[in-house]
Amino acid sequence: MKKILVALLVAAVVFQTMAFPADAEKAEESFERWEERGLLKDLKKKNENAAMSYSEFTLLIGNLFNISGERVFKNIQEAGFSVNNKNEVIKQEEAQKILKNLLPKSFTEQWEEGKGKPLKRIDAVFLADSLIEGYFYKEGKYSEKQIKGNAWINHSDITVADTEIEGNLFITQGAAPGNILLENTKVSGTVYIAENIQNEVKSLNSKLNQVVIVKERQEASDWSLVWSDEFISTEIDESKWTYDTGNWMVDEKGEPISPGWGNNELQYYTDSPDNSYIEDGKLIVKAKEESVSDQFGSYDYTSAKLKTKGLFSQKYGKFEARMKLPEGQGFWPAFWMMPEDEVYGDWPVSGEIDIMEAAGKDTETIGGTIHYGEEYPNNTYKGTEYHFPEGEDYTDFHTYSIEWEPGEIRWYVDGNLYQTLDNWFSKGQNQADKYSFPAPFDQEFYLIMNLAVGGWYGGNPDDTTEFPAQMEVDYVRAFELTGREYKEPVEPVLKKDELPEDAKQPLDDGNLIYDNEYNEPFTIVKSPEKELDSLYWNLVQLPDFEGSGTVEKEIIEGSPFAKIQTEDPGNALWSLQFIQKLSILEGNTYKVTFDAKSDAKRNIMTKVSGGEERGFANYSGEKTIQLTDEVESYEYTFTPNQESDLLARLEFNLGGNGTAPVWIGNVRVENVTGQEEENKAKPPLADGNLIYNGTFDQGDMSRTNYWELVASEKPRLLK
């Protein structure tokens, strides 16, 4: 694959037809104009009809970009062109090949094919003239220009003010060190900026259709840019970004639903320039320690959350951002996506894609996750973590991206693939079956960037947390796949693994839970470094989430129970956890049963999940249960659609819900694969409907589950 030479010439410009030789009168005018502009500087004095050598041709291109001819010549060689002698005369067709490598097809598709004749100086100059209408090649301020075509900047310290460019604007690498200002200027085409000066170009009160940052040398890509923000404006672009504000999730009437954005976050999001602004070509999102109040409460921190909802959304594509994240306990920076319309139902039935999220205390790790399944609390998620190489962490700039195709999402850090997911599901209320794959990730999603303070991902700030803290964003870009067709989605296949001999085996009665009579000592886990007991019960109380408690055995009506007394509920459901490890196999069905009570009405959440090495993957969905002061029995079944986990965890999450004690007993987890009884009577759905899949969007990808097509040559009566 050839590399594109001086790739800032990638604009979609329509050139006038270029024929060899050029029209004499027009070519003469072009020659005089460009000779005055210095295009021919450092070239030997020759007749305008003299043939050009490769050396002269590359020097002319170098003058156009304000870089050395040697640099251009080196780039030509790196692009795969073989030139044995720089003084050899360049032919028309060779010049066109080089230019076609420099320019996209749309630039040159109207050109007439060159011949094997030498390229004349006057023809080469005419090429430049056909490319550029407005040319800014000396430092200074240029005002009140009306340019009916493309414009070009190849020098530093240039201001273009009160100008309209009815084409594209090119700012070449030769404009380094930069200091380029576009003031009250409108560009109807695309603004192309060389990568080496991308943060040295500023826009003030200007209307720029699209900004593209390009490398001097880059490989061809299957992805084409469709939307971006390079943050060259002096203010946040309101045509691209809007805000979430406050601390509470609210309904359409503004009534409160859940505090902390449903994640126990502590900050109050603002649209103030104190919390989000542009500085040195970067978006700054700043978290501050300051008091603020609204009608719902008072908060100790402020920050910002920007989103493209209602302004830009896309189904499938490549989405990336180059970001620098803050360090500190309690910071939770994220770059993620949500559905523009909740086609399938409330969160997370319509899906969520987390491109990157990080816990501020662990600077060597970020995560990538999808959320899906049934409505909360029966939701689930799947993801993994990326660990930076030794000597690197997220406090430096890195590029975080996904490539999203039908039925497959891939996660990258700095171009390094670290996760591929191709198996998920979505099931709404009043349904007999899941929506057909690849739902929910087959709808348009919008982009979000935020810096949260506190919350369930990494805990709350502590005495070590330094404020203010900021997340810096160099750019955000979205691409469409144009170099090939998108993949066709493939129906996920649910494997049924066998339990290996070295795994934790079920007891003789089939129970995967050991010691449900609590005869073995409880293991107390108070730090992330301490490993959980692999066979018996653990009480986990991690300092990051501030939970603490005790556990002891107690007999209730002749049955042994574990009594967990909460001393501090902490700041999350998982601040205090009662856990036992067990082996879970992909494609197998499990039934969880237990008895529980409290001495007051209170909630607990139970699930079967993966550990830290699995990104705490949720295998069963979260089951929230309201306890009473009477012992009651509870059960749920699940079939994990993720890889088998021989170190899975049955969790009872007791944090974040007050200090009332909880008693848990008679815990069983059984593999009931193939034991489900078929209900011969077809019950109505939850909404009373007797017709299953009446919307033809459920089940396998045929979308016709529960329906049968009957063909008959003769009519028959139904009995």
Interatomic CA distance for residues 694 and 706, integer angstroms: 9
DSSP 273-288: TTTEEEETTEEEEEEE
Q: Report the distance separating Cα 621 and Cα 373, nearest Å.
A: 8
**What's the one-letter identity of residue 423?**
N
Catalytic residue among 230, 320, 340, 357: 357
Cβ-contact 275, 284 below 8 angstroms:
no
Residue 613, token pair as written in the block:
């090495």
| Residue 383 to residue 352: CA distance in whole angstroms | 12
Cβ contact 92:116 at 8 Å:
yes
* Separation of alpha carbons 223 and 116, rounded Å: 35
Q: Any catalytic annotation for residue 352? A: yes
Distance CA 592, CA 607 (A): 9
Max CA distance (Å), the chain? 110
Say which of 216, 230, 265, 352 is annotated catalytic.
Answer: 352
Neighbours of 397 (CB within 10 A): 14
DSSP string, 8-59: T------PPP--SSPPHHHHHHHHHHHHHTTTTTTSPP--TTSBPBHHHHHH
Asked if residue 640 has a cis previous peptide bond (ω within 30° of 0), the answer is: no
Please name the helix (run of DSSP H) or strand (run of DSSP E) that holds residue 95, with its range, or none: helix 92-102
- How far apart are alpha carbons 136 and 147 in whole angstroms? 12
Residue 312: closest CA among 484, 477, 472, 189: 477
Structure tokens at 119: 């390229």
DSSP lists the bridge partners of residue 697 as none
Tokens (6 digits) for 163: 């100008």
Residues 6+ apart with CB under 8 A from 149: 132, 133, 134, 166, 167
Separation of alpha carbons 375 and 320, rounded Å:
28
d(CA 34, CA 133): 11
Q: Which residue has the tokens 């010439």?
A: 9
- The alpha-carbon radius of gyration of the chain (Å, integer) is 32
Distance CA 32, CA 17 (A): 21
Cβ neighbours for 128, distance < 8 A, ≥ 6 positions apart? 30, 34, 39, 60, 64
* Cα 446 from Cα 348, distance rounded (Å): 15
| DSSP H or E stretch at residue 211 | strand 207-214
Which residues partner with 495 through β-bridges?
Answer: none
Annotation marks residue 357 as catalytic? yes
Q: Which residues are catalytic?
A: 352, 357
